[in-house]
Amino acid sequence: MTAPLRLGIAGLGTVGTGVIKIVRRHRDMLEARAGREIVISAVSARSKGKDRGVPISGYDWVDDPVALARRDDVDVFVELMGGTDGPAKAASEAAIAAGKDVVTANKAMLAVHGHELALAAEKQNRVIRFEAAVAGGIPVVKALTEGLTGNDMTRVMGVMNGTCNYILTRMESSGLSYAEVFEEANKLGYLEADPTLDVGGIDAGHKLALLAAIAFGTRVSFDAMELEGIEQVTIEDIRQAADMGYRIKLLGVAQKTGRGLEQRMSPCLVPSGSPLGQLENATNMAVLEGDAVGQIVLRGAGAGEGPTASAVMADIVDIARGIRVPTFGRPADQLDEPVAAHSATPAPYYLRMALEDKPGALAKVATILGASGISINRMRQYSHQETTAPVLIVTHKTQREAMEHALDAFERTDVVAGRPVALRIENL
């Protein structure tokens, strides 16, 4: 009879307790599907006495997650503590050194240390699985590492932060300002302790960096990610985008270009009728494009106890079945060092600016755009607000470098109040 697969779970927050619930509720089903029993040997968290809504007295308690990772009665170390460094990294390294497999939901740790951890694990013939680190319950990591291995991937993109999608769709449906919806999301518990991880695009950027490494066979390169958050998006931008047939999303895009690997996470306008444009509330979506399969769209809950614990359990069951896949789809020592290509792909842009009420103001704007090599597709001017008038411009395709040149020039002129907002338009 095959021996049980024994788990050591570090971190008993929302996801950790969700995993315990699944193991307890579906014990027989998991055994039938995995071909062996899955049991929990020991757990670790900051507080032993906290009421978590699920009994843990039947498991050994370990104060130190590193000690838990080294226990002889643990086959798989389940890291659900979070954090780029600290106990999460130390315990994961200890587990690998002790010959354990690792399952984690920690995108920040893998985005920064993923390559070195993968090298260490594969040297020990161990695996690191991280389905829960990207897009919650959506099986996008498995799709890339297994289901789409016959494809030369051309592009990976998606909406990967449910909080940002909630804020943007809530602004649109309610007519509330960014500040008002931000506060609402905070009261609902949607925001990280450091909100910039969400609204600044960092959390979603971590996820995109992991998917890009798998899709394109490169080392994780989060430092090369272009990041722009949603803080500057106004209700006026959302309304004007809707009037043109677009919606605004915090969109991640990774693709190989002639100049290298392009990775960006930024607010973009996408067609309202596209799958990404129809995405509502806190839902996530991953769009995968390969030369053989074409376009695959995966949609589902990107966070929460059930969806994320579901992804953790999928990795655990794969390990129980004996499925061994390199961390990033191919051996870590064969991953290429990526060449970063910043905004290499041209696109049209949405520009919003406050124009001073001065003679020749529009002419100066057009001159700056022309000098930057940017042509105007359409333009609208709205009623005055005291001494300025809102102006909306949609450009033809241009490079981001040209747009930055124009934005810098606008700040040096006397006809534009402040720095204009420039949002990329992705015609999917």
Rama region for 257: left / alpha / beta (φ>0; ψ in -120 to 50; rest) = beta
Active site residues: 207
Q: How many CB atoms lie within 10 A of CB 189?
A: 8
Q: What is the largest CA-CA distance in the chain?
A: 86
- Give the closest residue to 1 by CA, choosing from 37, 44, 28: 37
Which residue type, as a one-letter code, is found at position 309? A
Cα distance between residue 212 and residue 234, in whole Å: 30
* Contact assessment for residue 144 and residue 215, using Cβ atoms and an 8 Å cutoff: yes
Cα distance between residue 169 and residue 225, in whole Å: 25
3-class secondary structure, 343: coil
Sequence length of the chain is 428
Eight-class DSSP state of 334: G
Cα distance between residue 297 and residue 408, in whole Å: 37
Cα distance between residue 208 and residue 195, in whole Å: 19
Q: How many CB atoms lie within 10 A of CB 26?
A: 14
Output the six-digit token pair for 44.
């670790």
Q: How many CB atoms lie within 10 A of CB 268?
A: 27
Backbone angles phi, psi at 221, to 5 degrees: -135, 65
Output the six-digit token pair for 178.
């960014």
Output the six-digit token pair for 360.
């020749």
| CA dist list (Å): 294 to 153, 155, 209 | 9, 10, 21
Cα distance between residue 121 and residue 269, in whole Å: 40
Cα distance between residue 403 and residue 67, in whole Å: 53
Cα distance between residue 69 and residue 104, in whole Å: 13
Cα distance between residue 235 and residue 238, in whole Å: 5
Cα distance between residue 347 and residue 399, in whole Å: 7
